[in-house]
Amino acid sequence: MSRVYPLFSGSKGNCYYVTAGGKGILIDAGRTAKQIEKALSDNSIDVKNIEGIFVTHEHIDHIKGVRVLASRYGINVYATQGTLEQMDAQGHLTPEKFNSYIINKGAEVAGIKVTSFATSHDCAESVGYVAEMPDGRKFAVATDTGCVTPEMEKALAGCDVVAIESNHDVNMLLNGVYPYMLKRRILSDSGHLSNEVCSQLLPGLVRKGSTRFLLAHLSEENNMPHIALESARCTLSQCGMKENDDYTLEVAHTVTDGSCIIF
């Protein structure tokens, strides 16, 4: 039996702990090491069980705790070459860089086979990840992408649990206080996924076998959990899909509330 703990989600930091029991991995470590250590301990997870940190891209809300966790506990760091180069340039890798690895075709850590797929974001070489557990079940993280790339759609097909970005409500963003340039950045193809675009992706994923969705990386200024949920439910129900029969839907909390997804 596998578990995913969404420890942090959103622009203040992102971090998931994935385990098949015993050892496990982090996908992103975007809060301070201290905050991540506390979140792990609040969930009764021993930080020493982490055997790898998989980084999606170099934005601070995904890498803040990486260097300290990696050096304090000797944890290996995996990311694309472009992401590692940017992290290094910003001083986010340990000086020796002995424990950072370029993820090409994938890596197997803590019994979990991790593969990456390209996302479309304003950074060097961003990716999402699919974690395949020893029993073949799959958990995917697809956030920080301005559009759904073909590679992303293919990678998500058949994943049992999908954490997918539902960043903003377009109207809230347009009518909100963000400066024009920032609004344009978020709405662009290399920005963030809106509730609408996220919702449109879900029925196809259900048809291909995904049943559990975690709406993630919600904007605190331009979205609300009930709006993101309603958008997804509405599109799925228009396609004749029933919540809790055909799929389950939840929102990843900004900070863990102690819940995890068992799959």
Q: Which residues bind Zn ion (CB under 5 A)?
A: 59, 61, 144
Pairing of the two strands 161-165 and 212-216? parallel
Residue 165 CB, nearest distance to Zn ion (Å)?
Answer: 9
Containing 215, the helix (H) or strand (E) segment is strand 212-216
Shortest separation between residue 224's beta carbon and Zn ion, angstroms: 18
Beta carbon nearer to Zn ion, 2 or 86: 86
The beta strand positions in 9-45, using DSSP E, are 15-19, 24-27
**Choice between 60 and 234, CB closer to Zn ion:** 60
Cβ nearer to Zn ion, comparing 36 with 236: 36
Indicate the helix (H) or strand (E) that contains 170: helix 170-175
Q: Residue with CB nearest Zn ion?
A: 59
Give least dist CB 61 to Zn ion, A.
Answer: 4
DSSP conformation letters of 179-206: -HHHHHHHHSTTS--BHHHHHHHHHHHH
Give the shortest CB-116-to-Zn ion separation in angstroms: 15
Q: Which is nearer to Zn ion, 19 or 143 (CB)?
A: 143
